Chains A and B, each alone.
Chain A
Amino acid sequence: MEIFDILVSASFWAAVLRIASPLIFATMGELICERAGVLNLGIEGIMVFGAFAGWMAVYAGLGLWPGVLVAFASGALFGLAHATLTVPFGLSQHVVGLGVTLLATSSAYYAYRLALPEVTSPPRIEPFQPLDIPVLSDIPFLGEAIFSQTALTYLAFATVLIVALVLYRTPLGLALRAAGENPSAVEAQGLSVTAIRMGAVMVGSGLMAVGGAFLTMSAFSSFFFEMVNGRGWICIALVVFGAWMPGKALLGALLFAAFDALQIRMQQTPLGAEIPYQVFLMVPYVLSILALVLMSRRAEVPAALMVPYNRGER
């Protein structure tokens, strides 16, 4: 059976981690925003801009890590725009988020055209290379599947750990979660809901941009239009799937990536010759919707998600 052969191959699992990485970054970013009470629908556009900014920075001569920082900073900047409109001004988070997505996407395409007016195929950069972890990468199967990834993939998993630690083990995380649950409780303790929410949206947006940058700096080596291709929207679903908890959201990202990696390989089997390839493309989304429905029924939504906070109002 082909599926079995696929599932026992180390290269399949390596692909799962690779496909999951951008989703993990962006999902953690969205999770931080939503835990603080702000739905950030700018995610799709911010990922596009991050993909462009990181790649462009390296193409312009910066190193790979400075490129990641540039991507993060560009995301944080769009986050600042989003947060300014949604937090102190209290505008609709849906409208602002979609606006930011449109703005960031078109800014990326516009900047691309300005920077490279004459090219027909985008130039390549030297992307992150797989980094074999000493000793661990020599373990049969696991070594190839897990410990021969690029540095950014390792960073994605580290990000989950850091986000979880900050959320649950620090005063900052406590204040951030409380801002998403009951902002008056935060204000009553003399903390600024505005500062906490804006900070969360900026850092979260930075992570989304790094997720986008993974595509141009690790998965591929150049920037294409449409390359983010709805991953941002998937990440919003993954946050719900994960019930707003970093560990579960990571699980969701891996699950989606596994379906995605599986359908790519299924297309190359004899079965793939009989069924239109679009059906395979559809599979991860359909299964994600099903999993979302099953998993999120008992989820605890942050109580103040999408509720703007105005001081002095009852």
Chain B
Amino acid sequence: MGAREVVLRLEGITKRFGKLTANDDVGFALHRGEVLALLGENGAGKTTLMNILFGHYTADAGTVEVFGQALPPGAPGAALAAGVGMVHQHFTLAGNMTVLENILLGTRPLLAPGLGRAAARARVEQLSRDFGLAVHPDAKVKTLSVGERQRVEILKALYRDARILILDEPTAVLTPQESDALFETLKKAVAQGLSIIFISHKLHEVTAVSDRVIVLRHGRVVGEVATDQTDRHRIAEMMVGAEVALPHPALGTPGAALMELRDVSTPPEGNRTGLRRVTLSLKAGQITGLAGVSGNGQGALADLVSGLIAPDSGELRVAGQTVAGWSPRAALAAGVGRIPEDRHATGSIADFTLTENAVLEGYARPPFSRAGWMDWTRARAHAEGIIEKYDVRCPGPEARIRLLSGGNMQKLILGRALEAGPKIILANQPVRGLDIGALTYVQECLIAARDAGAAVLLISEDLDEIRALSDVIHVMSEGRLSPEFPRGSKTPAELGQWMAGQGFSDAA
């Protein structure tokens, strides 16, 4: 491998945000026709590093060389012109414009007389075929699935003759089938002499697609190995600095039912499934796992538990009392701690500080406010407590939460929910998109909360997670809820049949 051409070289990259050092003297080389995996936990500095390489951020120190030429810092145009294409974790697409328009953006001089749509469409269709990236050029981007949007991003890079492709956590948002299609595309790209940097924290993917692995931790390069010289176990150790153990919690001891649903139905909203005569009992000291294919009523159940919607028919009992006038505030008052599915849209306010986000649910009560006045000193102390206890990596409590990586944002939301001493915890996809360290931590926190007597409702599409953590399991299908299955009483295949709608008494 030593004789292969180096297409990209980073040396001594250092970048600080306030007190946080995101990258500390990072350097490595990428060879022609190679897939280099860049691994690291959330907040290890992967995304920052790529943003520097691509000119979105200016490094405090260090150099970037592409094909032997130094790139001027802070100039995205230069990296593009040098043949580097980046597929960001958050896509840079305009939703109200078509696929073709998004691809064409910036490819012609601004004052050129026309767009040359016909020729461009032909070229896009050719690239789609060559790399296996099926997407309709005239579709509006907002109508596309996440997987299709990613293909548009890759097509954008290929259309610009990129020789180096950087993919930032490309599979975090994809279904397994879409991920497989992506890996096929990457193989085709490498076969055509492209080089790829693949940023991820999913070990099985990294070992499947990469030739070489570089591990970042706390902004530094802590390891570099050829993929075929190592195994997942050793890579995981390098990432977190210690061996990872998946949780095998003992069964909890169930107590009183803290929240009960009896024959509860809710109407469908738009294309979202409603609940159909759901009967469910959330007991103290028990994790109730909810399995099912996404979109089968989990959203409605989560909204019901968190108070966003009320039952249309049926009975909702909290702590043994029938509830009337169910609302988010009533849910909070009843001790429901909420870890929402979408931490960006409903879990946090991006432009608020960590302090403000930390008291979003408790701001109206002492100690955070008295007689209608906020006590910011206590709020800040509360935020600092969460940051400390839940290991939220951030520049400080006054930083806006949008600056945090997904895992750190999730830890703050987790801390906010748990520190309020909830009796009932709604954990909706709590570990989606998290790295191993954060994932294990969140799961351990849920188990600890259960052991302290909380009733936990765990909603997840990951059957392994459900089967490992839950004391009892329900399956949802088309708004209906299966009977309660004790942990270990059903095989994954049997649960899968319930997920597909078999076994329910009222056949649809």
- A residues sitting closer than 8 Å to B (CB atoms) are 169-172, 174-175, 177-178, 181-182, 184-191, 300, 302-303, 311-312, 314
Contact = CB atoms under 8 A, between A and B. Distances in A.
B109 A185 contact: no
Contacts of A174: 97, 101, 104-105, 115
Nearest to B77: A190
B114 A190 contact: no
Nearest to B94: A181
A177 B94 contact: yes
Nearest to B54: A188
Interface in B398-426: 402-403
Contacts of A185: 92-94, 102, 105
Contacts of A312: 56-58
23 contacts: A171-B104, A171-B108, A171-B109, A174-B97, A175-B106, A177-B97, A178-B94, A178-B97, A178-B101, A178-B105, A184-B92, A188-B54, A188-B76, A188-B86, A188-B92, A189-B105, A189-B107, A190-B77, A190-B80, A300-B96, A303-B96, A312-B58, A314-B403
Contacts of A169: 114-115
Give the 6 A-B residue pairs with the shortest CB-CB distance, closest first: A190-B77, A189-B106, A181-B94, A185-B92, A171-B108, A182-B94
B242 interface: no
A249 to B, nearest CB: 16
B10 interface: no
Contact of A171 (B78, B112, B402): B112
Category for how many chain B residues contact A: 35 or more
Interface string B95-127: 111000110111111111111000000000000
B96 to A, nearest CB: 5
A312 B22 CA distance: 14
Interface of B: 54, 56-58, 75-78, 80-81, 86, 88, 90, 92-97, 101-102, 104-115, 402-403
Contacts of B101: 174, 177-178
Nearest to A302: B96
A172 B109 CA distance: 8
Given A178-B97, A181-B94, A303-B96, A189 B114 contact: no
Contact of B78 (A181, A188, A190): A190
Nearest to A195: B110
A188 B51 CA distance: 10
B349 to A, nearest CB: 15
B92 A182 contact: yes
B81 to A, nearest CB: 7
A182 B114 CA distance: 22
B121 to A, nearest CB: 14
Contacts of A175: 105-106, 110
Q: Is the interface of B mostly helix, strand, loop or mixed?
A: loop
A309 to B, nearest CB: 12
B94 A303 contact: yes
Nearest to B86: A188
Contacts, number: 88
Contacts of B86: 188
B357 to A, nearest CB: 16
Contacts of A191: 77, 105-106, 110
B151 to A, nearest CB: 16
A188 B103 CA distance: 12
Given A189-B76, A190-B80, A314-B90, 10 more contacts: A171-B111, A171-B115, A177-B97, A178-B97, A178-B101, A185-B102, A188-B88, A188-B92, A189-B106, A314-B403
A7 B109 CA distance: 48
A9 B274 CA distance: 58
Given A171-B115, A191-B110, A303-B94, A186 B105 contact: yes
A182 B113 contact: no
B28 to A, nearest CB: 23
A182 B106 contact: no
Contacts of B75: 190
A181 B95 CA distance: 7
B56 A182 contact: no
B56 A187 contact: yes
A186 B402 contact: no
Given A181-B94, A181-B95, A186-B105, A314 B402 contact: yes
A290 B108 CA distance: 42
Contacts of B54: 188
A181 B96 contact: yes
Contact of B93 (A182, A302, A311, A314): A182
A177 B92 CA distance: 14
A248 to B, nearest CB: 15
A187 B76 contact: yes
A113 to B, nearest CB: 42
B112 A189 contact: no
B277 to A, nearest CB: 35
B94 A190 contact: no
B84 to A, nearest CB: 11
B347 to A, nearest CB: 16
Contacts of A172: 110-111
Contacts of A302: 96
Residue from A300, A302, A314 whose CB has the most chain B CB atoms within 10 Å = A314
Nearest to A172: B110
B97 to A, nearest CB: 6
Contacts of A188: 54, 56, 76, 86, 88, 92
Contacts of B56: 187-188, 311-312
Nearest to B100: A174
Nearest to A185: B92
A170 B113 contact: yes
Nearest to A176: B110
Nearest to B47: A314
Nearest to A300: B96
Given A169-B115, A171-B104, A186-B106, A303 B95 contact: yes
A191 B104 CA distance: 13
B214 to A, nearest CB: 23
A191 B402 CA distance: 24
Contacts of B81: 190
Contacts of B109: 171
A195 to B, nearest CB: 9
Residue from B90, B92, B94 whose CB has the most chain A CB atoms within 10 Å = B94
Residue from B57, B88, B92, B114 whose CB has the most chain A CB atoms within 10 Å = B92
